[in-house]
Amino acid sequence: MTVRSVVRGVGHYLPSRVVENTEFEATLDTNDAWIRARSGIERRHFATDGDTTSSMATAAAKAALADARLNAHDIDAIVLATSTADLTFPSAATMVQAQLGMTSGFAFDVQAVCAGFVYALSNANAMIISGQAKRVLVIGAETFSKIMDWTDRSTCVLFGDGAGALILEAQTGGGTTEDRGILSTDLNSDGRYRDLLFVDGGISTGSSGYLRMQGNQVFRHAVEKLAGTANTAIERAGINSEDIDWVVPHQANIRIIQGTAKKMNIPMDRVIVTVQDHGNTSAASIPLALSVGRDRGQIKSGDLIVTEAIGGGLAWGAVVLRW
């Protein structure tokens, strides 16, 4: 028998403020058609005065707990993927722990930018299969609106805020590809490409800074690296791309999503797409897409899913799981 990390519950939270593309036309040399053509984005959600990364993460976590019919005391650990924690320290994860009323277990943040949720899933899976935890709450939450340069039309129209959460639970499987739960993971990074996507602030600078991106260069790396990590994870799981029911990609840009699917020989009708409504929510995008895809009736129990993401670092990776 094999211990698997099985999805027990899922949930998400989006701020109430919805910003359509046309809202940028008053302050930037851009328009709705330009943004849609280059990114596939139609609207995004921005944090209101009452929203923080930890509060949104908590709301998503509560939704996942309700979906799983569990309470906070049933959780052994929280792993929160974010690049926009409320404070330099403590971790946003411990803030979520407090807001949930969880007084035992442990909580920590993972920072791998847009690849953060894949990294968090891999860490949570490792803790479960090693026996360190039975149930892990895995969250992706971001407030990228706080690090936008609102004069840079090449970046500020692309990003949004939100949070998504999964609860992984240790369950026994037969050790075959028919098992529910995480079947394989693949993580990668290459720090030589730091300058392609970064924030020009932090502790060493004395300011929080703004996001800077060389979009064309990121695009060049993204499709090849995403398809490569997804195919590696698929091979490690002992399956074929034809077996995949759904690709749930990081929702950065529709052209990257389409290019990666094409390189993997997977048709777009087997790809969960939410970028048009959420924009790029960084580490929150995959759990948001999983939750929305489930709510839409697309993702069903037993479905075979591959998630893949790339972000600043560069850092990239993939996870194969059976829902």
Give Cβ neighbours of residue 290 (< 8 Å, ≥ 6 apart).
10, 164, 166, 248, 272, 299, 305, 307
- List the alpha helices (DSSP H) in 45-201: 53-68, 92-100, 116-129
Contact 246, 299 (CB under 8 A): yes
Which pLDDT value is given to residue 273?
98
215-237 vs 254-263: helix crossing angle, rounded to 10: 40
The one-letter code for the residue type at 35 is I
pLDDT tens profile 238-286 = 999 999 999 999 999 999 999 999 999 999 999 999 999 999 999 999 9
Q: How far is CA 304 from the centre of its chain?
A: 18
pLDDT tens profile 23-41 = 999 999 999 999 999 999 9
pLDDT tens profile 293-321 = 999 999 999 999 999 999 999 999 999 99
List the structure tokens of 67: 């979906």
pLDDT tens profile 215-231 = 999 999 999 999 999 99
Would you kindly state where each structural domain of the chain is located, as residue ranges? Answer: 2-173, 181-322
Which pLDDT value is given to residue 1?
87
List the structure tokens of 197: 């996507």
- Annotated catalytic residue: which of 12, 45, 250, 278? 250
278 as an active site residue: the answer is no
Work out the average pLDDT over 87-115: 98
Which pLDDT value is given to residue 233?
98
250 as an active site residue: the answer is yes
- Cα distances from 28 to residues 45, 151, 156, in angstroms, run 18, 7, 10
181-322 and 2-173 share a CATH fold: yes
Task: Report whether CATH 3.40.50.720 matches the domain 2-173.
Answer: no
CA distance 196 to 12: 29
280 as an active site residue: the answer is yes
- Annotated catalytic residue: which of 45, 114, 125, 231? 114
CA distance 56 to 11: 11
Average pLDDT, the chain: 97
CATH of 181-322, one of 3.30.365.10, 1.10.645.10, 3.40.50.620, 3.40.47.10: 3.40.47.10
